Amino acid sequence: MSLNPYASYLGEQDARQVIARTGGELRSLLETLGAAGIERSLAPGKWSARQILCHLADSEITFAFRLRQAVAEPHHTIQPFDQ
């Protein structure tokens, strides 16, 4: 059993390459959606593209902080996300 259930989404792709491409792919997707598309949600109560992007940015900031802690502190235990 994999420790990370999301790893299966990578298939044969290198995780570092996927991470490196993600910003450009998000930018391209948002340009395709346009200003109105970014604000639209697919169903009542569902997040808009803008809300999803903000969530991704917030998660990136949180993960980066936790990663810096792990590098800086000996034997640091990374706390899980509470979602």
32 within a domain of the structure (yes/no): yes
Is residue 79 domain-resident?
A: no
Does residue 81 sit within a domain?
no
Q: What is the pLDDT of residue 1?
A: 54
Any domain includes 82: no
Q: What is the pLDDT of residues 24-83, one digit of tens each?
A: 999 999 999 999 999 999 999 999 999 999 999 998 898 889 889 989 999 888 777 776
pTM for this one? Answer: 0.73
12-24: pLDDT as tens digits: 999 999 999 999 9
pLDDT at 5: 82
In a domain, 24, yes or no: yes
Residues 6+ positions from 48 with CB-CB distance below 8 Å:
38, 39, 40, 41
Count of domains forming the chain: 1
In a domain, 15, yes or no: yes
CB-CB neighbours of 76 under 10 Å? 13
CB contact at 8 A, 80 and 59: no
Domain boundaries, position 23: 5-72
